[in-house]
Amino acid sequence: MRFLIKLIPEREEFRVPYNHQHHLQGLVYRRIQRMDPDLSLRLHQPKAPKLFTYSLFMAEERKFEKEKPYFTGKGHGFFYFSTAVPEIAEAFIGGLLENPEVELWGERFTVKEVRALYEPERLSGRKFVTLSPVVVSTTKQILGKPRSYDLTPTDPEFYEHIRENLIEKYTALTGRPPEGGEVGIDVLLAKPKRFEVKPGIFQRAWHLVFRARGDEGLLRVGYLAGFGEKNSIGFGMVKVDEVKRRKRTRQGGERNRESKEV
Protein backbone atom coordinates (compact mmCIF):
# COMPACT_ATOMS: atom_id res chain seq x y z
CA MET A 1 0.00 0.00 0.00
CA ARG A 2 1.40 3.33 -1.09
CA PHE A 3 0.21 6.83 -0.32
CA LEU A 4 0.90 10.40 -1.36
CA ILE A 5 0.62 12.76 1.60
CA LYS A 6 0.19 16.48 0.83
CA LEU A 7 0.64 19.13 3.51
CA ILE A 8 -0.23 22.83 3.54
CA PRO A 9 2.39 24.98 5.33
CA GLU A 10 1.54 27.60 7.91
CA ARG A 11 3.92 30.03 6.20
CA GLU A 12 3.99 30.92 2.51
CA GLU A 13 7.65 29.89 2.36
CA PHE A 14 9.08 27.16 4.55
CA ARG A 15 12.45 25.53 5.12
CA VAL A 16 13.25 21.85 4.68
CA PRO A 17 16.61 20.71 6.12
CA TYR A 18 18.47 18.22 3.96
CA ASN A 19 18.91 15.95 6.97
CA HIS A 20 15.24 15.52 7.84
CA GLN A 21 14.52 11.77 7.78
CA HIS A 22 14.50 11.44 11.58
CA HIS A 23 11.73 14.05 11.75
CA LEU A 24 9.54 12.01 9.39
CA GLN A 25 10.43 8.87 11.34
CA GLY A 26 9.19 10.54 14.52
CA LEU A 27 5.95 11.55 12.79
CA VAL A 28 5.31 7.99 11.59
CA TYR A 29 5.93 6.39 14.99
CA ARG A 30 3.94 9.01 16.91
CA ARG A 31 0.88 8.59 14.73
CA ILE A 32 1.10 4.79 14.86
CA GLN A 33 1.53 4.83 18.64
CA ARG A 34 -1.50 7.08 18.98
CA MET A 35 -3.72 4.69 17.01
CA ASP A 36 -2.24 1.29 17.92
CA PRO A 37 0.15 1.17 20.92
CA ASP A 38 0.67 -2.60 20.60
CA LEU A 39 1.74 -2.27 16.97
CA SER A 40 4.08 0.56 17.93
CA LEU A 41 5.76 -1.68 20.51
CA ARG A 42 6.21 -4.47 17.95
CA LEU A 43 7.78 -2.05 15.49
CA HIS A 44 10.34 -1.05 18.10
CA GLN A 45 11.66 -4.60 18.42
CA PRO A 46 15.33 -4.67 17.39
CA LYS A 47 16.63 -6.55 14.34
CA ALA A 48 13.15 -7.23 12.94
CA PRO A 49 12.18 -5.90 9.49
CA LYS A 50 9.79 -2.98 9.91
CA LEU A 51 8.24 -3.46 6.43
CA PHE A 52 7.55 0.19 5.73
CA THR A 53 9.44 3.07 4.19
CA TYR A 54 8.93 6.65 3.05
CA SER A 55 10.40 9.16 0.66
CA LEU A 56 12.32 12.32 1.29
CA PHE A 57 10.18 15.40 1.97
CA MET A 58 9.55 17.47 -1.16
CA ALA A 59 7.88 20.76 -2.05
CA GLU A 60 5.75 21.98 -4.93
CA GLU A 61 8.38 24.67 -5.58
CA ARG A 62 11.96 24.57 -4.32
CA LYS A 63 14.71 27.16 -4.08
CA PHE A 64 18.29 26.19 -3.27
CA GLU A 65 20.92 28.48 -1.76
CA LYS A 66 24.62 27.70 -1.71
CA GLU A 67 26.10 26.54 1.59
CA LYS A 68 22.71 26.43 3.32
CA PRO A 69 21.73 23.20 5.14
CA TYR A 70 18.18 23.46 3.83
CA PHE A 71 16.11 24.36 0.79
CA THR A 72 13.19 26.78 0.76
CA GLY A 73 9.81 25.41 -0.24
CA LYS A 74 6.72 27.14 -1.54
CA GLY A 75 3.23 25.84 -2.23
CA HIS A 76 2.38 22.51 -0.62
CA GLY A 77 4.85 20.03 0.83
CA PHE A 78 4.53 16.31 0.25
CA PHE A 79 6.09 12.91 0.79
CA TYR A 80 5.27 9.28 -0.02
CA PHE A 81 4.65 6.46 2.44
CA SER A 82 4.66 2.76 1.60
CA THR A 83 4.20 -0.48 3.51
CA ALA A 84 3.62 -4.16 2.84
CA VAL A 85 1.48 -4.45 6.00
CA PRO A 86 -2.11 -3.10 5.89
CA GLU A 87 -2.13 -2.80 9.70
CA ILE A 88 0.74 -0.29 9.55
CA ALA A 89 -0.96 1.71 6.81
CA GLU A 90 -4.24 1.82 8.75
CA ALA A 91 -2.55 3.04 11.93
CA PHE A 92 -0.35 5.70 10.32
CA ILE A 93 -2.90 7.09 7.87
CA GLY A 94 -5.63 6.94 10.53
CA GLY A 95 -3.37 8.85 12.91
CA LEU A 96 -2.71 11.54 10.30
CA LEU A 97 -6.40 12.01 9.51
CA GLU A 98 -7.40 12.06 13.16
CA ASN A 99 -4.79 14.69 13.98
CA PRO A 100 -3.89 16.54 10.76
CA GLU A 101 -1.82 19.24 12.45
CA VAL A 102 1.86 18.37 11.91
CA GLU A 103 5.05 20.00 13.16
CA LEU A 104 8.31 19.08 11.45
CA TRP A 105 11.74 20.66 12.15
CA GLY A 106 10.01 23.76 13.59
CA GLU A 107 7.65 24.25 10.63
CA ARG A 108 3.90 23.76 10.99
CA PHE A 109 1.78 22.00 8.38
CA THR A 110 -1.77 20.73 7.99
CA VAL A 111 -2.48 17.49 6.14
CA LYS A 112 -4.39 18.49 3.00
CA GLU A 113 -4.74 15.16 1.22
CA VAL A 114 -3.89 11.49 1.62
CA ARG A 115 -4.15 9.62 -1.66
CA ALA A 116 -3.76 5.88 -2.21
CA LEU A 117 -1.57 5.24 -5.26
CA TYR A 118 -1.82 2.78 -8.12
CA GLU A 119 0.51 -0.21 -7.86
CA PRO A 120 1.83 -1.86 -11.06
CA GLU A 121 0.79 -5.46 -11.64
CA ARG A 122 4.21 -6.49 -12.97
CA LEU A 123 7.57 -5.33 -11.62
CA SER A 124 10.17 -7.63 -13.18
CA GLY A 125 11.91 -5.88 -16.05
CA ARG A 126 10.77 -2.41 -14.98
CA LYS A 127 12.99 0.60 -14.38
CA PHE A 128 13.00 2.04 -10.85
CA VAL A 129 14.01 5.43 -9.47
CA THR A 130 14.72 6.04 -5.79
CA LEU A 131 12.51 8.44 -3.85
CA SER A 132 14.87 8.04 -0.91
CA PRO A 133 18.41 6.69 -1.32
CA VAL A 134 19.39 3.05 -0.82
CA VAL A 135 21.61 1.86 2.04
CA VAL A 136 23.52 -1.43 1.83
CA SER A 137 26.17 -2.39 4.38
CA THR A 138 28.22 -5.31 5.60
CA THR A 139 30.63 -6.05 8.45
CA LYS A 140 34.38 -5.98 7.84
CA GLN A 141 37.42 -6.35 10.01
CA ILE A 142 39.01 -2.90 10.21
CA LEU A 143 42.13 -2.55 12.37
CA GLY A 144 41.30 -5.92 13.92
CA LYS A 145 37.74 -4.97 14.92
CA PRO A 146 34.40 -5.71 13.23
CA ARG A 147 33.03 -2.49 11.75
CA SER A 148 29.96 -1.63 9.70
CA TYR A 149 31.04 -0.88 6.14
CA ASP A 150 28.79 0.80 3.59
CA LEU A 151 28.83 -0.92 0.21
CA THR A 152 28.69 0.86 -3.14
CA PRO A 153 27.14 -0.21 -6.46
CA THR A 154 30.66 -1.08 -7.65
CA ASP A 155 30.89 -3.81 -4.98
CA PRO A 156 29.54 -7.21 -6.10
CA GLU A 157 28.34 -7.75 -2.52
CA PHE A 158 26.00 -4.77 -2.90
CA TYR A 159 23.57 -6.77 -5.05
CA GLU A 160 23.78 -9.98 -3.07
CA HIS A 161 23.01 -8.11 0.15
CA ILE A 162 19.98 -6.48 -1.47
CA ARG A 163 18.72 -9.92 -2.51
CA GLU A 164 19.30 -11.41 0.95
CA ASN A 165 17.55 -8.44 2.54
CA LEU A 166 14.52 -8.94 0.28
CA ILE A 167 14.37 -12.62 1.21
CA GLU A 168 14.46 -11.71 4.91
CA LYS A 169 11.58 -9.25 4.48
CA TYR A 170 9.57 -11.68 2.37
CA THR A 171 9.99 -14.43 4.97
CA ALA A 172 9.00 -12.09 7.80
CA LEU A 173 5.91 -11.02 5.86
CA THR A 174 4.69 -14.41 4.64
CA GLY A 175 6.15 -16.80 7.22
CA ARG A 176 7.99 -18.82 4.57
CA PRO A 177 10.97 -18.30 2.24
CA PRO A 178 10.31 -17.54 -1.44
CA GLU A 179 10.20 -20.41 -3.89
CA GLY A 180 12.52 -18.78 -6.42
CA GLY A 181 14.52 -16.10 -4.68
CA GLU A 182 16.44 -14.81 -7.69
CA VAL A 183 16.76 -11.07 -8.27
CA GLY A 184 19.01 -9.28 -10.74
CA ILE A 185 19.67 -5.55 -10.59
CA ASP A 186 21.33 -3.44 -13.28
CA VAL A 187 22.25 0.03 -12.02
CA LEU A 188 21.85 2.64 -14.76
CA LEU A 189 22.71 5.70 -12.69
CA ALA A 190 24.14 6.08 -9.19
CA LYS A 191 24.68 9.22 -7.12
CA PRO A 192 26.18 9.06 -3.61
CA LYS A 193 24.54 10.94 -0.74
CA ARG A 194 25.55 11.47 2.88
CA PHE A 195 22.95 12.13 5.57
CA GLU A 196 23.15 12.94 9.26
CA VAL A 197 20.55 10.49 10.60
CA LYS A 198 21.19 11.45 14.23
CA PRO A 199 23.37 14.20 15.74
CA GLY A 200 26.93 13.22 14.85
CA ILE A 201 25.89 9.94 13.14
CA PHE A 202 26.17 9.91 9.36
CA GLN A 203 24.94 7.47 6.76
CA ARG A 204 26.19 6.97 3.23
CA ALA A 205 23.48 6.08 0.72
CA TRP A 206 22.81 5.98 -3.02
CA HIS A 207 20.22 7.58 -5.22
CA LEU A 208 19.76 5.06 -8.02
CA VAL A 209 18.11 4.47 -11.33
CA PHE A 210 18.08 0.72 -11.91
CA ARG A 211 16.35 -2.09 -13.75
CA ALA A 212 15.33 -5.14 -11.73
CA ARG A 213 14.38 -8.63 -12.88
CA GLY A 214 13.44 -11.81 -11.09
CA ASP A 215 11.04 -13.10 -8.47
CA GLU A 216 7.88 -10.97 -8.48
CA GLY A 217 7.24 -11.63 -4.80
CA LEU A 218 10.65 -10.31 -3.77
CA LEU A 219 10.41 -7.28 -6.05
CA ARG A 220 6.95 -6.53 -4.66
CA VAL A 221 8.34 -6.55 -1.12
CA GLY A 222 11.11 -4.17 -2.21
CA TYR A 223 8.59 -1.92 -3.93
CA LEU A 224 6.31 -1.77 -0.88
CA ALA A 225 8.74 -2.00 2.05
CA GLY A 226 11.93 -0.61 0.49
CA PHE A 227 15.12 -1.85 -1.11
CA GLY A 228 18.22 -2.20 1.04
CA GLU A 229 18.45 -1.44 4.74
CA LYS A 230 17.18 1.13 7.25
CA ASN A 231 13.89 1.62 5.44
CA SER A 232 12.07 2.71 8.61
CA ILE A 233 14.41 5.69 9.00
CA GLY A 234 13.75 6.90 5.49
CA PHE A 235 15.87 4.93 3.03
CA GLY A 236 15.19 2.68 0.05
CA MET A 237 11.82 3.85 -1.29
CA VAL A 238 11.48 3.57 -5.07
CA LYS A 239 8.98 4.34 -7.79
CA VAL A 240 8.49 2.73 -11.18
CA ASP A 241 9.76 4.99 -13.93
CA GLU A 242 6.69 5.23 -16.14
CA VAL A 243 7.13 6.21 -19.80
CA LYS A 244 4.86 9.10 -20.60
CA ARG A 245 3.55 9.05 -24.13
CA ARG A 246 2.47 12.27 -25.76
CA LYS A 247 -0.92 12.26 -27.39
CA ARG A 248 -0.84 13.35 -31.00
CA THR A 249 -3.61 15.59 -32.31
CA ARG A 250 -4.43 15.51 -35.99
CA GLN A 251 -4.94 18.93 -37.47
CA GLY A 252 -8.06 19.70 -39.49
CA GLY A 253 -10.15 16.76 -38.30
CA GLU A 254 -13.79 17.09 -37.29
CA ARG A 255 -13.04 16.68 -33.59
CA ASN A 256 -10.26 19.24 -33.78
CA ARG A 257 -12.55 21.80 -35.40
CA GLU A 258 -15.23 21.15 -32.80
CA SER A 259 -12.82 21.62 -29.95
CA LYS A 260 -11.64 24.94 -31.37
CA GLU A 261 -15.21 26.16 -31.73
CA VAL A 262 -15.99 25.22 -28.16
CB atoms within 10 A of CB 109: 23
Residue 118 appears among annotated catalytic residues: no
- Mapped onto helix, strand or coil, the DSSP state of residue 37 is helix
Closest CA to 82 of 153, 130, 17: 130
b/e sequence 37-69, b meaning 16+ C-beta within 10 Å: eebbeebeeeeebbbbbbbbbebeeeeeeeeee
Neighbours of 141 (CB within 10 A): 9
Helix (H) or strand (E) run with residue 218 in it: helix 216-225
Catalytic, out of 20, 22, 23, 29: 29
- Closest C-alpha among 126, 124, 133 to residue 217: 124
Catalytic position from the list 18, 20, 23, 44:
44
Active-site annotation holds for 29 = yes
Known catalytic residues? 29, 44
